[in-house]
Amino acid sequence: MPPPHTGLSKNASIPNVNGGVFWPDTVNKRIYLFGGEQNEGKPEDFRLYSYDVLNDHWDSFGYPKSDNIMSLSYGAGVSVPNRGQAYYYGGYMNSKTAPEWEGSQAATSNLLIYDMDKNSWSNTTGLDDSRRAEGVMVYIPAGDGGFLVYFGGVRQKQDGKWEGQPMDEILLYDVTSGRRYKQKATGTIPQIRRKFCAGVTWVEDQSSYNIYLYGGMGEKDGSLGFDDVYVLSIPTFTWVKLFPKDSKDPGSNPHHSMSCNIVNTAQMIVHGGFFPEHDDCELAWGIHNLDLGKNNEEQAFWLRYIPSKEKYQVPLRCSQLPEGNLPEGLQIRNHLMGGLIRTWRH
């Protein structure tokens, strides 16, 4: 495994939180900390913090100038460094995220956009109108400016009750136009889940994008959860199960609330999280590695980290998907010159 960096600086002004999100800015070599629940004492008014990777130093970027920006927890966040933007969708508002919050926990349906170059915020309509949390959102560089792709988690119904988001309902947001779409997926649909993690990768010609999902907690409180791997392949919008082989097997070691980070397109580091079925000691540093293409002598998905591996190969089960398997609604088709063109059916 890649050796973790320990002993990094963090002064007492930087809060310890659960359910926050890191926004990496690979252009300026910074990592932003947004949101999360503070479990020690009353939370402070929201401020954005940033870690300077090169100088091992934390900075406060102050309070947002807009009144409609507040700290949230367990929403879905992703950064797009080459656009200089970061996004956060949904999430909870409660007494651990806001100092003046009263009453029971609530969620939001909004999409927050942070401009990393201008240190400015906007609060806009989300990918749909439902209040939601505990799902995952990734960015794919398709079309003119790319799409945000969201799935999973829980959402609030019109009667105020909560339900899991079906995993065949995929929400998309065009970051250039601001238009939003809902797509129906097919294939081996994962069970409803929350607090899972995911990462996206693609082949060099960007003819397809594969979103790898791992683990998660079940829809209801107290459920043990999952230890499985699925791939959502775009543009066919087809779910494929990679691990375990049995389509109904949730895995033997449920795992939730971890992070997934893809390294050099070909491997995915799974870090941290909880194992609700036992309290055994984790592997050193709590790190696991997934070979995204099963491109190794052992033909295994779970494998040691190989630093030299930098080329993604689509798993056989994904490469055999039929072309043109586009459900009703949004269609995304390949452009002959590379990239993706969008064609909408209303």
Read off the pLDDT of residues 254-273 as tens digits, 9 standing for 90 and up: 999 999 999 999 999 999 89
Dihedral angle computed from the Cα positions of residues 105, 107, 113 and 118, in that order, rounded to the nearest 10 degrees: -10
Instruction: For residue 231, give the nearest of 338, 342, 313 by alpha carbon.
Output: 313
Q: Is a pLDDT exceeding 90 seen at residue 250?
A: no
Query: Whole-structure pTM over 0.85, yes or no?
Result: yes
Q: What is the pLDDT of residue 139?
A: 98
Measured CA to CA, the distance from residue 270 to residue 276 in angstroms comes to 16
Coil, helix or strand at residue 311: coil
CB-based burial label for 79 (10 Å; 0-12, 13-18, 19+)? buried
Task: Report pLDDT digits (tens) over 105-117.
Answer: 999 999 999 999 9
Provide the pLDDT confidence category of residue 346 given band limits of 50, 70 and 90. Answer: very low
Q: Looking at residue 135, what is its pLDDT?
A: 98
- Count the residues in the chain: 346
- Whether 342 shows a pLDDT value over 60: the answer reads no
**253, 199 contact by CB (below 8 A):** no
Q: What is the full DSSP assignment across 79-96?
A: EEGGGTEEEEE--EESTT
What pLDDT digit, counting tens, does each position of 33-45 carry? Answer: 999 999 888 888 8
Res. 343: pLDDT tops 50: no
Average pLDDT, the chain: 87
What does the alpha-carbon distance between residue 315 and residue 301 come to, in Å, rounded to a whole number?
10
Q: What is the 3-state secondary structure (H, E, C) of 250-279?
A: CCCCCCECCEEEEECCCEEEEECCECCCCC
Distance CA 259, CA 189 (A): 22
